[in-house]
Amino acid sequence: MNWTMLISFFIILSNTITVIHGYVRGCYYTNWAQYREGEGKFLPENIPNGLCTHILYAFAKVDELGDSKAFEWNDEDSEWSKGMYSGVTKLKETNPELKILLSYGGYNFGSAIFTEIAKSAQKTERFIKSAIEFLRKNNFDGFDFDWEYPLGVAKEHAKLVEEFAANYWASKGMPKQKIIIGIPMYAQGWTLDNPSKTAIGAAASRPSSASKTNPAGGTASYWEICKYLKEGGKETVDREGVGVYMVKGDQWYGYDNEETIKIKMKWLKEKGYGGAFIWALDFDDFTGKSCGKGPYPLLNAINSELEGESEWTENPEITTEEPSITETSETEETEETTYDTDITEETEETEETTYDTDITEDQECPEPNGLFPHPTDCHLFIFCGNSNAYVKQCPANTFFNDAIKVCDHMTNAPDTCK
């Protein structure tokens, strides 16, 4: 089968993963989805009750010393309001079997700090102790270590696709029931060079246009795909590769729908793997208004194959303070792929590109809350929360696009930034 496989590394504080009802069904919750306007806004009360055995809260971070830190200004509780952590962990009150994990890292966090911690036994020990204290303080059951990437991605991409496939891990002795297969709730998109040539492998030289969930372009949520189909997009199922693609004008998107997900879940069961996890809850049609198939059609497809028909219910009496600041650069996040850090490979030495996401620099906030361009460096931006200014650096080969408030592809940068 030809689809992207996601691998993650979960650690539960009790040292065991117990799933009463069989297969793991892990669901990533993204703390920046709170900033979207309109139908894309996603809060803890939107998390479905009963469809996930594990919730993975994305993301937390760690500093250079190895100490755990919250990522968003409202993750933790404050004197005046409950934080997002509490909004999610509260779900265990109505579903005691649910496990809630805190995910460290992510694409925008980069690799530099994790690399430095891994080099130092002292920092590694400090990180482990800090993580356990931080998790217990905030009522999490464990954590997900999302290091992107321990190895150079570009030069090793072809090898990684093969080496980190599930059958590789199984062939090396890992019990299959501990291997969890990742399923994306979003589409990867491209702009076709020739709109009349739309088959798989057609030429495309740039990402797809901006979507509501990713203003920088290149991806779209499944609920957005459903809207594109209603607007005239044509969907084609690739039965050999077990995937779906849709074409609308010069826009080409590849993704999974309910049909292909069910096929993959049957494959998962036949192979004896332990379950599936999704990236991410806010990318499925969580309101049920876009696809016309009820809330969470993709997640329900997973559940119907792994556990029989599951019924989605809303979570009662969970309220979350709505922030006033706008979309953060984390919307560029795509699928989550994490790897074991103890891999030995013979590769050519290349210089690793790293960057610090936090810059020590004094800046003033133009407004109490929001994202603002840096006055002298287009690759930096200023995040303001409650009039506190934090200078952040965009990932490599991106710049801060003030018009859409994200770190955007350099192809869209003005001449003054190139």
Please list the active-site residues: 148
Tokens of 203: 């030429």
Q: What is the DSSP letter of 414?
A: -
Cα–Cα distance between 58 and 88 in angstroms, integer?
Answer: 11
For CA atoms 80, 325, 106, 51, give the dihedral sign. Answer: positive
Tokens of 69: 């830190």
Tokens of 338: 């994490």
Q: ∠ CA 72-78-80 to the nearest 5 degrees?
A: 125
Q: ∠ CA 142-280-222 to the nearest 5 degrees?
A: 170
Cα–Cα distance between 245 and 213 in angstroms, integer?
Answer: 19
Nearest Cα residue to 329 out of 409, 240, 223: 409
Strand-pairing partners, residue 26, are: 54, 277
160 within 8 A of 151, measured Cβ to Cβ: yes
Cα–Cα distance between 209 and 188 in angstroms, integer?
Answer: 11
44 within 8 A of 374, measured Cβ to Cβ: no
Stated length of the chain:
418
User: What angle in degrees, to the nearest 10, is found between the helix axes of 297-307 and 258-271?
Assistant: 30
Query: How many other β-carbons are positioned within 10 Å of the β-carbon of residue 205?
Result: 9
